[in-house]
């Protein structure tokens, strides 16, 4: 497949890929065929919080191809959530079976649900008998062992899943180490649902290598790579890399947007710290600034540090790797 013809979806990152990020990235850089929202987890009272309503607001997502993501282990809660997003105008709902966070998995949600295949099967049986929208699934290949994936694929194949998005790592691997491409190949061969790949696509070289190995795959999902290099998808389509001035406008638009949305400069600064954890990898010799950014405590410190990054550091043509969530770069 010609690399430029790949469909690209953006993966959700909690605290980063908010409605404001989606709107800003879509308007400035474009290139994404769909944006997936950070998950929301229905509560027993079946109410959407103010934060969830803001992120799912039709006004905030107007013109942006968006898919809401839900995380739950209760079929009745998923069905309720599907009704809510349908009423807000969305045309698909996504189930999160991939989140590896301990606070999530100990509750049997996210990747924790993969430990209970019989319960997952029963969940799908109820959901697909009543759900009001098409359902896609984002999953890991197991919790402890790659051998778990065969059983999971059997379950997935029993149901009319619109899209199976596979991050080929186990829960305990989080975002580190090599991906299990053989497991992804097995999914590609045996899945009844269309299969999308997710994992460690950070540069054009990564996308080219993946496309050469899996020419039958027409859709990929990228998360950390798009945060680290906002122009990655534009470059994929033959466009230009981000300029220093463009990136500065981008970060200032986000920062001022968060200040307006939250009303507290310090909260906006915290939001931007999370984005810069990845974005700093687009700058040469940024380790010192990355450490300082992690220690930022207020808006004034953040503003001073951001100005220093754009003043002092050279912009790279592609983001450094890995972006593994540890804050450490590869040697």
pLDDT above 50 (res 271): yes
What mean pLDDT value characterizes the chain? 95
Nearest alpha-carbon partner for 152 in 104, 102, 193: 193
Residue 192 in this model has a pLDDT that exceeds 70: yes
Confidence of residue 2 (pLDDT cuts 50, 70, 90): confident
Determine the pLDDT at residue 1: 67
Can you give the pLDDT at residue 229? Answer: 98
252 confidence band (pLDDT: 50, 70, 90): very high
The mean pLDDT value for 245-263 works out to 97
The dihedral of CA 242, 246, 251, 257: what is its sign? negative
pLDDT digit string, tens, across residues 81-111:
999 999 999 999 999 999 999 999 999 999 9
pLDDT in tens, 103-158: 999 999 999 999 999 999 999 999 999 999 999 999 999 999 999 999 999 999 99
- Residue 327 pLDDT exceeds 70: no
Determine the average pLDDT of the residues in 271-279: 97
CB contact burial 46-57 (16+ within 10 A = b; e otherwise): eebeeebeebbe
Rounded percentage of the chain residues whose pLDDT exceeds 70 = 97
Residue 4: the pLDDT is 86
pLDDT at 326 over 90: no
The 10 Å CB-count burial string (b at 16+, else e) for 254-276 is bbebbbebeeebbebbbbbbebb
Mean pLDDT of 313-324: 88
The set of residues, in sequence order, having a beta carbon less than 8 Å from that of 214 and lying 6+ positions away, is 184, 185, 188, 197
Say what the pLDDT of residue 324 is.
61
Q: For 213-230, what is the mean pLDDT? A: 97
Question: Rounded CA gap, 275 and 296, in Å?
Answer: 13
Phi and psi angles of residue 38, each rounded to the nearest 5 degrees, phi first? -55, 145
Per-residue confidence (pLDDT) for residue 12, from 0 to 100: 96
Predicted pLDDT of residue 269:
97
Contact by Cβ (8 Å): 254, 21: yes
Quote the radius of gyration of the chain (alpha carbons, Å): 19
């Amino acid at each position: 497949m010609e690399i430029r013809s790949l469909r690209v979806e953006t993966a959700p990152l909690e605290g980063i890929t908010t409605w404001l990020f989606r709107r800003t990235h879509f308007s400035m850089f474009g290139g994404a065929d769909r944006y997936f929202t950070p998950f929301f987890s229905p509560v027993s009272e079946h109410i959407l919080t103010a934060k969830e309503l803001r992120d799912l607001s039709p006004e905030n997502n107007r013109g942006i191809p968006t898919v809401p993501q839900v995380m739950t282990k209760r079929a009745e809660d998923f069905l309720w959530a599907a009704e809510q997003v349908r009423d807000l105008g969305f045309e698909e709902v996504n189930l999160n079976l991939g989140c590896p966070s301990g606070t999530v998995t100990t509750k049997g949600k996210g990747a924790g649900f993969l430990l209970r295949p019989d319960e997952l099967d029963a969940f799908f049986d109820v959901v697909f008998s009543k759900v009001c929208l098409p359902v896609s699934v984002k999953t890991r290949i197991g919790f402890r062992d790659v051998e778990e994936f065969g059983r999971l694929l059997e379950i997935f194949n029993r149901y009319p899943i619109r899209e199976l998005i596979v991050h080929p790592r186990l829960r305990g691997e989080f975002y580190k180490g090599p991906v299990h491409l053989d497991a992804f190949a097995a999914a590609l061969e045996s899945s009844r649902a269309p299969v999308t790949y997710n994992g460690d696509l950070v540069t054009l070289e990564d996308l080219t290598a993946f496309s050469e190995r899996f020419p039958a795959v027409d859709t990929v999902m990228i998360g950390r790579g798009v945060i680290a290099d906002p122009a990655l998808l534009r470059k994929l389509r033959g466009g230009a890399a981000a300029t220093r001035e463009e990136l500065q406008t981008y970060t200032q638009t986000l920062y001022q947007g968060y200040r307006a949305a939250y009303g507290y400069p310090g909260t906006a600064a915290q939001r931007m710290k999370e984005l810069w954890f990845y974005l700093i990898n687009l700058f040469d010799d940024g380790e010192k600034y990355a450490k300082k950014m992690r220690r930022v405590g207020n808006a004034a410190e953040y503003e001073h540090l951001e100005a220093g990054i754009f003043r002092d550091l050279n912009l790279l043509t592609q983001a450094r790797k890995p972006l593994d969530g540890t804050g450490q770069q590869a040697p």
